[in-house]
Amino acid sequence: MVSQPVIGVLALQGDVREHLTALRSLGADPISVRRPAELAACDGLVVPGGESTTMVKLARIFELLEPLREAVRGGLPTFGTCAGMIMLADRIEDGAVGQETIGGLHITVRRNAFGRQVDSFEDDLEVDGLAAPVRAVFIRAPWVEAVADDVDVLARVAVGPAAGRIVAVRQGPLMATSFHPEVGSDDRVHGMFVDLVRSA
Ligand SMILES: NC(=O)CC[C@H](N)C(=O)O
């Protein structure tokens, strides 16, 4: 067990700094990842929110896409939030034409699933493993359309037209949320991931 694990945040695009701050406050040693050598130094990785189509293009340009795929396949604990959830998904509905992902998480995500009417919203979510609900912030978020048998559902939307939709999952060392746990001061979801990295 590594007590101060090195946790990378993929820093090609998106809200990197908020994740670095949350991870640091939980006692991890966070680093920005833009190169394969930085990725290789990580005990765990966060793929942040942002724009998945841009992020995957930049990952190719920075020659990180294949190393990321190998790392995830090789069991690197990885946590994707929002666009990061899309990046980890094996399949995308409503993706851009030919949109690639890192993959590894046996789910189908629907991109921009909540639609224009509710581009962004907040919900108090019961998350499996946490005692009290999480105030979850959704920003042009995906939801999980389908999961394989080896994927645990950690949270579903509680109310409104999307009630019942899956918005947090775990599969072995992989975790993903549709929402942005790095927004605000509640670091319990990051805490779940840091625990996962520590126990890996
Ligand atoms: N906040 C986000 O990460 C939005 C994700 C974005 N809609 C995408 O498709 O990548």
pTM: 0.96
Q: 52: Cβ below 6 Å to ligand 1?
A: yes
Q: Is the pLDDT of residue 68 over 60?
A: yes
Q: 83: Cβ below 6 Å to ligand 1?
A: yes
Q: 181: Cβ below 6 Å to ligand 1?
A: no
C-alpha of residue 77 to centroid of ligand 1, in Å: 21
pLDDT digits (tens, 9 = 90+) for 88-107: 999 999 999 999 999 999 99
Q: Is the pLDDT of residue 75 over 70?
A: yes
Q: Is 38 a catalytic residue?
A: no
C-alpha of residue 83 to centroid of ligand 1, in Å: 4
pLDDT at 116: 65
pLDDT at 17: 96
Q: Is 42 a catalytic residue?
A: no
Q: Residues of the chain with pLDDT > 70: what percent?
A: 98
Q: Is 180 a catalytic residue?
A: yes
C-alpha of residue 71 to centroid of ligand 1, in Å: 23
pLDDT digits (tens, 9 = 90+) for 10-65: 999 999 999 999 999 999 999 999 999 999 999 999 999 999 999 999 999 999 99
Q: Is the pLDDT of residue 80 over 80?
A: yes
pLDDT at 2: 67
144-149: Cβ within 8 A, 24+ apart: 144/85, 144/107, 144/108, 144/109, 144/110, 144/169, 144/176, 144/178, 145/93, 145/107, 145/108, 145/109, 145/110, 145/113, 146/107, 146/108, 147/106, 147/107, 147/108, 148/106, 148/107
pLDDT at 95: 94
